[in-house]
């Protein structure tokens, strides 16, 4: 599974990355988590408001406020 966290590096983007990592750990699945900070790259994924969460190429979340850990787990599990 491929998880991407997209954001230029604001506080919420770091939190989003932590959420994704914790979710993957707690779900006990194999996943590669990639952090994308380049603005062109972010836009290319179709994200309009950051932070964004893309799982296997599909946009799962974008913008503030951040989803809860439970919600992130659900979003990731839906693609597993």
Partner 1 sequence: MLKQFADYITYTLLKLEPTSHLGDALNFFIYDTLKIFLLLTTIVYAVAIIRAYFPPEKTKRILSQKREYLGNTMAALLGIVTPFCSCSAVPLFIGFVEAGVPLGVTFSFLISSPMVNEIALIMLWGLFGWKIALIYTGTGVVLAIVSGIVIGKLKMEKYVQDYVWQIKAGDGVIMQTSFREKLVFARDYTKDLLKRIWPYVIIGIALGGIVHGYIPTDFVVKYAGRDNPFAVLVAVLIGIPLYSNAAGMIPVVQALVGKGMAMGTVLAFMMSVTAISFPEAVILKNVLKMRLIYTFFGIVTVGIIIVGYLFNAIL
Active site residues per annotation: 10, 13
Residues paired with residue 34 on neighbouring β-strands, in sequence order? 4
Omega prior to 27 cis, within 30 of 0: no
Q: Which is nearer to partner 1, 21 or 71 (CB)?
A: 71
Residues from 16 through 75 that contact partner 1 (CB under 8 A): 39-40, 42-50, 58-59, 61-66
Within 10 Å of residue 1's Cβ, how many Cβ atoms?
14
Q: Which is nearer to partner 1, 64 or 77 (CB)?
A: 64
**What is the DSSP secondary structure assignment for residue 80, as one 8-state letter?**
-
From the CB of 18, what's the least distance to partner 1, in Å? 17
How many chain residues are in contact with partner 1, going by CB under 8 A?
A: 21
59 CB-near residues (< 8 Å, 6+ apart): 45, 46, 47, 52, 53
Task: List interacting residues with partner 1 (CB under 8 A).
Answer: 8, 10, 39-40, 42-50, 58-59, 61-66
């Amino acid at each position: 599974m491929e998880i991407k966290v997209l954001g230029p590096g604001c506080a919420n983007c770091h939190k989003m990355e932590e959420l994704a990592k914790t979710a993957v750990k707690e779900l006990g699945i194999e996943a590669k988590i990639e952090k994308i900070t380049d603005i062109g790259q972010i836009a290319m994924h179709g994200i309009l408001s950051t932070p964004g969460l893309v799982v296997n190429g599909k946009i799962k979340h974008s913008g503030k406020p951040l989803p809860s850990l439970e919600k992130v787990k659900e979003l990731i599990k839906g693609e597993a």
